[in-house]
Amino acid sequence: MSKLKQRKDRPTIGQVMDEAGVGRRQFMKYCAGMTALMAMPPMATTAFARQLRAARRPTVIYVPYQECTGCLESLTRSFAPSLESLIFDTISLDYNHTLQAAAGTAAMEAKYQAIQENYGEYILIVDGAISTAENGIHGMAVGQTFLDQLKDVAEGAAAIVAVGVCAAYGGVAAAHPNPTGAVGVADLIKDKPIINVPGCPPIPEVMTGTLVSFLASGVPELDRHLRPKAFFGNTIHDRCYRRRFYDRGLFAKTFDDEGARNGWCLYELGCRGPTTYNACATIKWNGGAGWPIESGHGCIGCSEPGFWDQGGFYEPVTAKLFSERGQSVAAAAAGVAVGAAAGLAAKARKKKLASETE
């Protein structure tokens, strides 16, 4: 597990928490919530809290490339006042040209100063895809391509966190026919630890949780797409509250039929939950107020490589997609077949009951 080099001249997070008046009980409650989200056993909370308190405040450089600012909007919309935001305040965000006052050349100078002063020790957060077509000329700022900017800033980073599906895998910017040759960070940088936190946008708590867990114990366990397993270890379908309808073969056929009104499964309306790994079904959105499937729309697979080109959003998941995700096509097909058979049996029972009561 690669750990961040600790700068002795920086206060520890524990010291910053004490100065901010965060009590032990509040801090422990936060750590218990974090370890639960990451599916760690309850006894791990004390060790996690100790490691987090001892971690020194790191420098973070946040660079935006081909992006829509949705990921930064999501990150800054975490529910305030929250301990996540306090912890995020304890990170020294030395460069973020969307949030900082400086612009143009002054902003670039601030970035180079932050790089020089913290060379080899900063966390680099990348937001947005990187254009590679025609030497990257489709994405530029201050006379330099994003491609060259990324190579410069990545060289001195201790680790890179790619936030959003665009920074992780190219995302929306890489959608067919991808005229700018957009790619994700891991396609270009091969010699640094990279953690992908995909989503369009990612869940704020997953972004802050990944950073906090990295501060406490280094690069977390990642899946084959470099996502933290703690947050991306299950499919949406694994944890979806509509799963009981899927298992019984009860599917909405349109967005306003009886099935939709009864909250049945959205598989036949194109839900990508069975092939999408993310924590929406458990952490939810807007401080836990709800999430897309609860609002009546299927998952569109925004945290997966290949998003946006996964076939139409309103066609059921294909066998090809199941197999691209490394999932068993036979098991998935069997699940649908069992569900469909159960659905037919349920329909037959309903018809029989109706004829008996006429």
Give the residues lining the site for ligand SF4 (CB under 6 A).
Answer: 199, 236-237, 240, 242-243, 246, 265-267, 271, 273-274, 276, 278, 280, 291-293, 298-303
Task: Work out how close the CB of 171 gets to ligand SF4 at its nearest, in angstroms, rounded to a whole number.
Answer: 11
In the chain the first and final C-alpha atoms are separated, in Å, by: 68
The closest of 165, 73, 80, 175 to 126, measured between CA atoms, is: 165
| Least distance between ligand SF4 and beta carbon 237 (Å) | 4
Using alpha carbons only, what angle is made at residue 163 by residues 157 and 164, rounded to the nearest 5 degrees?
150
Judged by beta carbon, residue 199 or residue 204, the one nearer ligand SF4 is: 199
| Euclidean distance between CA atoms 228 and 358, whole angstroms | 56
Token couple for 162? 């790619």
Closest approach, Cβ 151 to ligand SF4, in A, equals 30
CB-nearer residue toward ligand SF4: 64 or 298? 298
In whole angstroms, the minimum distance from the beta carbon of 338 to ligand SF4 comes to 13
Q: Please state the closest distance from residue 54 (CB atom) to ligand SF4, in A.
A: 34
Q: How far apart are CA 248 and CA 85, in angstroms?
A: 42
Phi, psi (5° rounding) for residue 63?
-115, 130
- Which residues are registered as beta bridge partners of 235? 277
| Residue closest to ligand SF4 when measured from CB atoms | 273
Task: Tell me if 154 sits within 8 A of 212, measured CB to CB.
Answer: no
Residue 30 or 245 with smaller CB distance to ligand SF4: 245
Number of neighbouring beta carbons within 10 Å of residue 116: 9
